[in-house]
Amino acid sequence: MHLSAIWLITLLSAVIVHAKTHTFNFTAGWVTANPDGLNEKRMIGFNGEWPVPDIHVNKGDRVEVYLTNGIDEGIDTSLHFHGLFHNTSVGNQNQMDGPTMVTQCPILFGQTYLYNFTVDGQVGTYWYHAHSGAQYGDGMRGAFIIHDENEPFHYDKEMVIQLSDLYRQPYYEVNAAFLSRYNPTGAEPIPQNMLFNNTLNATLDFKPGETYLLRFINSGLFVSHYIALESHELTIVEVDGIYVKPNVTQLLYVATGQRVSVLVKAKETDPGRNFALMQIIDESMLDVTPPELVLNWTHQIAYSRNYPKPKPIDVGNLDDAAEEFYLSPLDGRELYDDYDLQIVLDVRMKNLGDGVKYAFFNNVTYVEPKVPTLTTVLTSGKLSTDPRIYGDNINAYVLGKNEIVEIVLNNYDPGKHPFHLHGHNFQVVQKSPGFHEDENYPEEDQDKMTVPYNESAPLMDFPQHPVVRDTVQLEANGHVVLRFKANNPGVWFFHCHVDWHLTQGLAAVFVEDPETLQAREELGDNYKQICSSCGIKNKGNAAGHSNDWFNLDGLTRQPLPLPGGFTAKGYVAFMACTLAALWGVYTISSYGLSETIQDDKQVFESLRKALNVEDTLT
Ligand X SMILES: *[C@@H]1O[C@H](CO)[C@@H](O)[C@H](O)[C@H]1NC(C)=O
x/- track of binding to Cu ion for residues 441-480 (CB under 5 A) = ----------------------------------------
Q: Tell me whether the omega of the peptide bond preceding residue 99 falls within 30 degrees of 0, making it cis.
A: no
Binding of residue 349 to Cu ion (CB under 5 A): no
* 298/587 with CB nearer ligand X: 298
Residues 485-504 that bind ligand X (CB under 6 A): 487-488
Binding of residue 456 to ligand X (CB under 6 A): yes
DSSP secondary structure of 37-91: SS--EEEEEETTBSSPPPEEEETT-EEEEEEEE-S-TT--B-EEEET----GGGS
* 373/488 with CB nearer ligand X: 488
Binding of residue 357 to Cu ion (CB under 5 A): no
Q: Which stretch binds ligand X (CB under 6 A): 10-18, 82-90, 184-192, 366-374?
A: 82-90
404-422 core/surface letters (b: 16 or more CB in 10 A; e: else): bbbbbbbbbbbbbbbbbbb
Q: What's the closest the beta carbon of residue 99 comes to Cu ion, in angstroms?
A: 16
> For the chain, what percentages of helix, strand and coil (3-state, to nearest 5) are there?
20, 30, 50
User: Exposed, middle or buried: residue 326 (CB in 10 Å: 0-12, 13-18, 19+)?
Assistant: middle
Q: What's the closest the beta carbon of residue 380 comes to ligand X, in angstroms?
A: 23
Binding of residue 498 to Cu ion (CB under 5 A): yes
Q: What's the closest the beta carbon of residue 454 comes to ligand X, in angstroms?
A: 4
Binding of residue 247 to ligand X (CB under 6 A): yes
Helix ranges (DSSP H) in 474-537: 499-503, 514-520, 525-533
CA distances in angstroms from 176 to 172, 252, 378, 586, listed in the order given: 6, 33, 34, 12
Question: Which one among 225, 501, 520, 545 touches Cu ion, defined by CB under 5 A?
Answer: 501
Binding of residue 465 to ligand X (CB under 6 A): no
Binding of residue 471 to ligand X (CB under 6 A): no
Binding of residue 537 to Cu ion (CB under 5 A): no
* 163/476 with CB nearer ligand X: 163
Question: Which one among 75, 251, 496, 508 touches Cu ion, defined by CB under 5 A?
Answer: 496
**CB under 8 Å to 165, separation ≥6 — which residues?**
137, 191, 193, 194, 195, 220, 221, 222, 223, 281
Give the angle 171-176-182 at the CA atoms, nearest 5°.
140
Binding-site size, ligand X (CB under 6 A)? 44
Question: Which one among 177, 280, 301, 474 touches ligand X, defined by CB under 6 A?
Answer: 280
State the first-to-last Cα distance of the chain, in angstroms, to the nearest integer: 77
Calpha distance 426→335 (Å, rounded): 10
Instruction: Indicate the residue whose CB is closest to ligand X.
Output: 37
Binding of residue 362 to ligand X (CB under 6 A): yes
C-alpha closest to that of 530 among 132, 102, 106, 133: 106
Binding of residue 87 to ligand X (CB under 6 A): yes
Binding of residue 424 to ligand X (CB under 6 A): yes
Site residues for Cu ion per CB under 5 A: 417, 496, 498, 501
